[in-house]
């Protein structure tokens, strides 16, 4: 039966459309009230406004974000990374369901720099976590994939605040184990979790050392069936490897565990690790210190983005760029001289 000849489906589509229209007409004040009242529709609508290319939508979202700040922060923000196929979404599903059973409210966000290209490996839709998506105490927001990493990261950070204001006390931010996105996610979370596969002999090859150094815990995934023994070997290898890294300023020693999301093994253990981490870093004040440092980091990132946009849209820069590039092509000046010239011309120095 085609869509237009199915009266039920038409009715549902009409209902959804009228609800969306109704939400769009709500003022920033009303959306704010609804968000702090726990409305997922108002939360979703505000994140949509935040991601909108329409400036007045964006400004409305900013207005709401300003209002929610005092209500946001009572949460634990957890970053989750690992190469595609390592088992992130399966883990998030069992971890998310485990947490909601313990009375938590769980929001899942993602930063996926690859989704703009053809790889699309994260949260393209909710079918990856269908079970968790249907859980009334969980909220899954597919990745905002357009724009620069800095822009996407800013929106994700602001979405975190909105989710917290709506009562979500565990925020999971997923990313893939490639590129700069780990640094972005690490810089907006309290605890950083790396999922790794047990390989035969090449356990330390899969992921860059820098990402391992950022991890507060490494989980060796798919530790079930035949794979258990390889997972245990990998666990010891990573444990030994982590000893070689410099100690963390917060005194935390990263923990390495095995995990089977399918058999629900390790899921409770990782929550205990995160709880211990929160307790320890709260006591030694590193929890708040890190959040404050992160705020300053993102302030500087926003400033950099603003300065770059300002520079590249400056009329002087646009007018002289080609000429200076052609001098560079002819070997008349060096790259550094070209940059100096362009900078001085742009700002008329």
d(CA 212, CA 195): 10
Burial grade of 160 (CB within 10 A; 0-12, 13-18, 19 or more)? buried
State the Cα–Cα distance between residues 17 and 38, nearest whole angstrom: 22
| Least gap, CB of 264 to ligand GDP (angstroms) | 9
The least distance separating ligand GDP from the CB of residue 53, rounded to whole angstroms, comes to: 29
Rounded to whole angstroms, the Cα distance separating 126 from 134 reads 9
Q: From the CB of 217, what's the least distance to ligand GDP, in Å?
A: 16
Q: Identify which of residues 75 and 221 has a Cβ nearer to ligand GDP in the complex.
A: 221
**Does the footprint of ligand GDP cover residue 82 (CB under 6 A)?**
yes
164's CB contacts (< 8 A; 6+ apart) are 68, 71, 72, 73, 74, 75, 171
- Which one of the spans 44-52, 186-194, 260-268, 292-300 is the region binding ligand GDP (CB under 6 A)? 260-268
**Does residue number 77 form part of the binding site for ligand GDP (CB under 6 A)?**
no
Q: Which stretch binds ligand GDP (CB under 6 A): 18-26, 54-62, 148-156, 220-228?
A: 220-228
Q: How far apart are CA 113 and CA 121, in angstroms?
A: 9
Choosing from 86, 132, 166, 207, the residue that interacts with ligand GDP (CB under 6 A) is 86
Binding mask 90-109 for ligand GDP (x = CB under 6 A): x-------------------
**Residue selected from 262, 328, 338, 345 as contacting ligand GDP according to rule CB under 6 A:** 262
Kindly provide the residue ranges of all beta strands, DSSP E only, lying in 179-302, ordered along the sequence: 191-196, 217-220, 255-258
Picking from 337, 312, 317, the residue whose alpha carbon sits closest to that of residue 327 is: 337
Site string for ligand GDP, 137-176 (x = CB under 6 A): ----------------------------------------
* C-beta separation of 224 from 91 below 8 A: no
266 near ligand GDP, judged by CB under 6 A: no
* Least Å from the CB of residue 43 to ligand GDP: 24
Mention every residue, 6+ apart, whose C-beta is less than 8 A from residue 265: 223, 224, 258, 259
Which CA distances in Å does 271 have to 76, 95, 286? 11, 8, 19
Binding segment for ligand GDP (CB under 6 A), chosen from 61-69, 87-95, 300-308, 316-324, is 87-95
Q: Give the residue, chosen from 224, 301, 305, 340, that forms a contact with ligand GDP under the rule CB under 6 A.
A: 224
Q: What are the residues whose beta carbons fall under 8 Å from the beta carbon of 117, sequence distance 6 or more?
A: none
Told to check if 113 binds ligand GDP by CB under 6 A, we report no
Residue (67 or 126) nearer to ligand GDP, CB: 126
Residues 94, 294, 63, 112: is their CA dihedral positive or negative?
negative
Residue 109 phi, psi dihedral angles, 5° rounding: -120, 170
Distance of CA 199 to the CA centre of its chain: 27
Which listed range, 78-86, 273-281, 306-314, 319-327, lies at the site for ligand GDP (CB under 6 A)?
78-86
Rule CB under 6 A: is residue 222 a binding residue for ligand GDP?
yes
Helices (H) and strands (E) in the chain, counts: 14, 7
Q: Shortest approach of ligand GDP to residue 300 CB, angstroms?
A: 31
Stretch that binds ligand GDP, among 86-94, 236-244, 275-283, 307-315 (CB under 6 A): 86-94
Among 115, 159, 261, 281, binds ligand GDP (CB under 6 A): 261
Q: How far is the CB of 85 from ligand GDP (least distance, A)?
A: 5
Residues that bind ligand GDP (CB under 6 A): 82, 84-90, 121, 221-222, 224, 260-262
């Amino acid at each position: 039966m085609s869509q237009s000849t199915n009266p039920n489906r038409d009715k549902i589509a009409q209902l959804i459309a009228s609800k969306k229209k109704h939400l769009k007409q709500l003022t920033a004040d009303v959306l704010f009230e609804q968000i702090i009242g726990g409305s997922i529709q108002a939360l979703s609508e505000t994140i949509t406004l935040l991601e909108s290319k329409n400036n007045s939508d964006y400004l409305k979202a900013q207005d709401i974000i300003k209002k929610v700040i005092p209500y946001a922060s009572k949460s634990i923000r957890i970053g989750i990374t690992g190469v595609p196929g390592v088992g992130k979404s399966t883990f998030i599903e069992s971890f998310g369901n485990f947490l909601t059973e313990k009375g938590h409210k769980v929001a899942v966000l993602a930063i996926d720099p690859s989704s703009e290209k053809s790889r699309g490996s994260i949260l393209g839709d909710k079918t990856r976590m269908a079970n968790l998506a249907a859980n009334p105490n969980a909220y899954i927001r597919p990745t905002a994939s357009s724009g620069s990493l800095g822009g996407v990261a800013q929106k994700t950070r602001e979405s975190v605040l909105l989710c917290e204001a709506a009562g979500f006390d565990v925020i999971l931010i997923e990313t893939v184990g490639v590129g700069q996105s780990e640094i972005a996610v690490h810089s907006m979370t309290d605890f950083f979790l790396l999922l790794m596969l047990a390989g035969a002999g090449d356990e330390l090859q899969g992921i860059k050392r820098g990402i391992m150094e950022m991890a507060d815990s490494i989980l060796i995934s798919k530790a079930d069936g035949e794979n258990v023994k390889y997972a245990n070997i990998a666990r010891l290898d990573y444990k030994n490897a982590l000893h070689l890294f410099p100690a963390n300023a917060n005194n935390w020693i990263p923990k390495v565990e095995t995990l089977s999301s399918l058999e629900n093994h390790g899921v409770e253990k990782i929550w205990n690790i995160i709880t211990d981490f929160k307790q320890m870093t709260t006591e030694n004040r590193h929890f708040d210190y890190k959040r404050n440092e992160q705020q300053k980091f993102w302030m500087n990132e926003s400033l950099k983005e603003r300065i770059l946009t300002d520079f590249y849209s400056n009329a002087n820069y646009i007018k002289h760029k080609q000429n200076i590039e052609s001098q560079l092509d002819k070997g008349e000046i060096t790259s550094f001289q070209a940059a100096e010239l362009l900078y001085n011309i742009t700002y008329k120095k």
